[in-house]
């Protein structure tokens, strides 16, 4: 609801859900840390676009494409490739929106 006070317009938040709504679709990721070659899961609160691009980037900038994943309802199950131990950034993009998660790998 927008109200005017002293000539200025203010957007009034009616409840906490209105404030948090932009963050609802940010996924939960587990298991993290993960073992090299194992599966991880991204769980969303809403639907998932089928046309996803996934990759991992290590701290030296090397990129690893992830082609082996499946979508089940509101989850993306990712089969990780064989990776050395370290910290990686998981990038997930549907062509419009993208998210990045820090992923720890244990060999």
Structural fold of domain 25-106: Immunoglobulin-like (2.60.40)
Each residue of 9-59: pLDDT tens digit?
666 655 555 555 554 456 888 889 999 999 999 988 777 777 789 999 999
Give the confidence band of 97 by pLDDT, cuts at 50, 70, 90: confident
Pair type for strands 98-106 and 34-35? parallel
Q: Where are the domains of the chain?
A: 25-106
**Residue 104, H or E segment:** strand 98-106
Q: For residues 15 and 95, which has the higher predicted lDDT (pLDDT)?
A: 95
CB count in 10 Å sphere of residue 54: 17
**What's the pTM value of the predicted model, to 2 decimals?**
0.72
What is the Cα–Cα distance from 47 to 63, expressed in whole angstroms? 27
pLDDT tens by residue, 14-26: 555 555 555 445 6
Q: Are 42 and 27 in contact (CB under 8 A)?
A: yes
CA dist 82 and 61 (Å) reads 17
What does the mean pLDDT of the chain come to? 82
Give the C-alpha separation, 11 to 18, whole Å.
11
């Amino acid at each position: 609801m927008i109200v005017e006070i002293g000539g200025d317009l203010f957007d009034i938040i009616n409840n906490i859900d209105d404030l948090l709504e932009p963050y609802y679709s940010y996924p939960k990721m587990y298991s993290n840390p993960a073992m090299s070659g194992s599966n991880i899961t991204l769980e969303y609160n809403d639907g998932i676009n089928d046309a996803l691009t996934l990759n991992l980037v290590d701290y030296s900038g090397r990129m690893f494409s992830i082609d082996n994943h499946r979508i089940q309802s509101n989850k993306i199950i990712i089969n990780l490739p064989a990776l050395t131990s370290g910290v990686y950034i998981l990038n997930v993009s549907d062509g419009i929106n993208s998210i990045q998660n820090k992923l720890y790998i244990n060999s």
